[in-house]
Amino acid sequence: MDSYQEIIFKLKKYWSDRGCIIQEPYDLEVGAGTMCPETFLRVLGPNPYRVAYVQPSRRPADGRYGENPNRLYKHMQLQVVLKPSPNDVIEQYLGSLDAIGIDLKKHDIKFEEDNWESPTLGAWGVGWQVMLDGLEITQFTYFQQCGGIDLDLVPAELTYGLERLTAFLQVKDSVYDIEWAPGVSYRDVRFNDELQFSVYNFEMADVETLWKLFDLHEGEAARLLKLYDPKSLDKNRFPLLPTYEHVLHCSHLFNTLDARGAISVTERVAVIARVRKLAVGVAGAWMDQQHGSGVEAAEAAR
């Protein structure tokens, strides 16, 4: 039986063998691997790219104080982006399951329609949730738009839920019982994380402070976006990546406020629109800076 980390090694090796750069996790809090620049910005423009990375993904509202066997505040995704999507992308994906020891001839695999949309990123795609014996193990998406921009090359994004996949392989009913490394359980490694962040997110996070932080990050991102000049000769120096980090902070703060119950349904829509405006602005500016197109989007965002 492979340990959690062994499964990760094998998947990384598998995708490395298929031309993927193996990136390390983005060192900022994100809700999903999609939000990392390695996906959000790399899918833009005409350059082919293949990348795979494990991304710890934080969803404050999903925290359960470490008590629920299947739900986590922070879970690990293996994010694979193949741009453009190869014709045999599904066969390659199935091969990755084989690589971690799933004998598909003995299991039931189904591709059930599940289209993906991120209102905060101005991004959407079509695809499936991949079901293995009734368990959703992967989200498979053909990106169509990102940051409000139609994509030149259509990437396939594969997002594996690593805890679930491991629990399936190790036949465990609780993710906390997963063997992370020989003799070390997932609980040993992660329990305090889950407990303490649940307490913070649901009980102790100061709403006023979070809003203040949100406003500060939003303000900084907006300030920078205004300064970006598509006509500038040294625009390649312009710090769009740091700008985007402020957008990511906004997104995570929004999620925390939401978990804290501080955002009403109506406010939600408005706050999402504020974050999207910034994300779309960065995407447009990035297209201009890196690929010399998309200025209109950048201008609109200013």
Q: How far is the CB of 12 from other proteins (least distance, A)?
A: 24
How many other C-beta atoms can be found within 10 angstroms of the C-beta atom of residue 237? 9
Q: Which residues contact 109 (CB under 8 A, 6 or more apart)?
A: 94, 97, 130, 131, 132
290 lies in the site for other proteins, by CB under 8 A: no
What is the nearest approach in angstroms of other proteins to the Cβ of residue 1? 15
Binding flags for other proteins, 60-99, as an x/- string (CB under 8 A): -------xxxxx------------xx-x--xx--x-----
Q: Which residue has the tokens 């402070």?
A: 209
Under rule CB under 8 A, residue 56 binds other proteins: no
State yes or no: residue 203 binds other proteins (CB under 8 A): no
- Binding residue for other proteins, selected from 99, 154, 184, 189, defined by CB under 8 A: 154
Q: Is 47 in the site for other proteins (CB under 8 A)?
A: no
For residue 84, whether the previous peptide bond is cis, meaning omega lies within 30 degrees of 0, is: yes
What are the E-state strand segments in 4-155? 21-22, 49-58, 74-83, 109-113, 116-118, 123-132, 135-146, 149-150
User: Can you name the residues that pair with 210 across neighbouring β-strands?
Assistant: none
Rounded to a whole number of angstroms, the minimum distance from the CB of residue 259 to other proteins is 12
Would you list the DSSP string of 112-132? EE--EEETTTTEEEEEEEEEE
Give the residue, chosen from 108, 203, 208, 234, that forms a contact with other proteins under the rule CB under 8 A. 108
- CA-nearest of 45, 34, 85, 82 to 279 is 34
3-state secondary structure of 111: strand
295 counts as binding other proteins under rule CB under 8 A: no
Interface with other proteins (CB under 8 A), residue from 10, 21, 99, 153: 153
Q: How far is the CB of 212 from other proteins (least distance, A)?
A: 21
Return residues touching other proteins (CB under 8 A). 67-71, 84-85, 87, 90-91, 94, 104-113, 115, 125-126, 128, 132-135, 142, 144, 150-154, 168, 171, 173, 261, 264-266
